[in-house]
Structures are given as structure tokens and as C-alpha cells.
Amino acid sequence: MKITEFSSITSSSDSLLPLAIDHTLLKPEATLQQIDKLCEEALQYGFKSCCVNSIYAKRVSEQLRGSKTIVCCVINFPLGAASASSKAAEAQAAILDGAEEIDMVLPVGLLLSSSPPYSEIYHHVKAVVSACRTVPVKVIIETGLLKSDRAKVIACLLAAEAGAAFVKTCTGFSGGQATEGDVRLMWNAVRRYNADGAVNVRVKASGGVRTLESCLRMFRAGAERIGTSSGVALVTEQRSPLLSDEKGSY
């Protein structure tokens, strides 16, 4: 999908919205029954993926088999503070269990250091990208913890140079939320990788995207994927006849 397709989503083009949503359940206390419900909802509404912790990859893969909804797994979540080799190993294991996309967390503490070891940060992403081969990797940069635009741009560039398919705003576990400004900043940071009509690095907005209004703002800022546990509510709101009457301008 191209940015323009999602940025023009309206209440009358609801078929596009589910295709941009990673239907997400990442809380540590999630039960098997809740994971099963997540899969049922994803199949019912046609979401792009079910995004879960890697322990559930095989279970979710079995439930989604034969559908267009894919399995997205987070690794070393939400801290991103494990070794590069352990992240790569977890990613490989998740893929063997059925994961078709991998979301990893950048080692934010390294980037926040007084003399950031950029090559080491790059290596963390590259190790996972190499382990995943053709499976797309999304890199969470934790915008809420990176207090300067410069740090956010550097994080995006390191991820893109290492071969990430997406840069992603937040885990949602460190107090930060996706903002329109951060999404636009991230999209501008990776624009150089999307020349001549090719889109090689995209932006995923996650963290606090719970209303249709905020979702549409993220699309207009440049996001092509939304990570949220409120996917059902977003699609329901969009399909509401009342919403169509009141917000037809979207």
C-alpha cells in the first residue's frame, strides 16, 4: 500500500482500514482465551495481522491458517535490552512457529548515552534483519523516551540502514504515545529510502491510537500501519452511520 491510499481513508472506504491495522495484545497477563479472541476478531474484521508475544506465535499461526491475516511477533519486548544474538535467536524461533513479521525494540539506552555507540545499535537491528531474511522487521524506536528530534531521526536512519522494513513509534509500555509530529518526523527521516516510486521503509504508529480521529491523523502524517488493541473499536466507529453523517469530510 502507498501512503496516499491510507491518507485518504474515509468512512466510505472502510475496506482499507483493517488492512492497515496490527490487531495487538501484548500485555504480560494475556491469557490463552484472550489470544484466541484476538484471532477471532482479526478473522472477523480482516485485520492485517495479529501482533502477539512470540510465545503465542504457533497458536496464532494455527488459528489464522488459510486466512489473509498474518502473524506479527514482538521480540525482546518491551525493553530491547537483550544481546543482539538473543534477539536474532528469538526472531528465528518465532518465524519457525509461524511469524510473518517481526517487531523489535531498539536498544534505547545505548542511544541515550552521552557517546552513543551507533555501530552497536546498528548491529542489533542488522542481526535481527539478517536472521529474518525475507520476513519484514519493524524497529520500535520508543519516541517517548527520545527527547530530541535529532535522536529520533538518528534512530530511524540506523534502522533503515540496517534493512528495517518499518520504523515504529512506541511499545506503549514506557509512557510514550504516537504523535502526529513524531510520525511526520519519522516519515521525513526515511523518505530518502523511498525514491523513484519504491517504498522500502514505512512508518508504523503505535501507542495510544484508540480513536478513529487519531488513527486518521497518523495516516495523514505518513503512517502506513497502526498498532493498536482498539482495532475493533476503530473499525466499528468508522462503519457507524452516525459517523458517516457527521464526519463525511474524512
- Three cell numbers written together for 213: 480521529
87, 138, 204, 247: which is the annotated catalytic residue?
Answer: 204
Told to judge if 37 belongs to the known catalytic residues of this protein, a careful annotator would answer: no
3-state per-residue secondary structure call for 182-209: HHHHHHHHHHHHCCCCCCCCEEEEECCC
Told to judge if 204 belongs to the known catalytic residues of this protein, a careful annotator would answer: yes
87, 138, 152, 168: which is the annotated catalytic residue?
Answer: 168
Angle, CA 148 vertex, CA 187 and CA 218 arms, to 5°: 35
Whose CA is closest to 103, among 81, 82, 132, 123? Answer: 132
The DSSP bridge pattern shows strands 137-140 and 202-206 to be: unpaired
Number of H helices, E strands in the chain: 11, 8
Active site positions, annotated: 168, 204
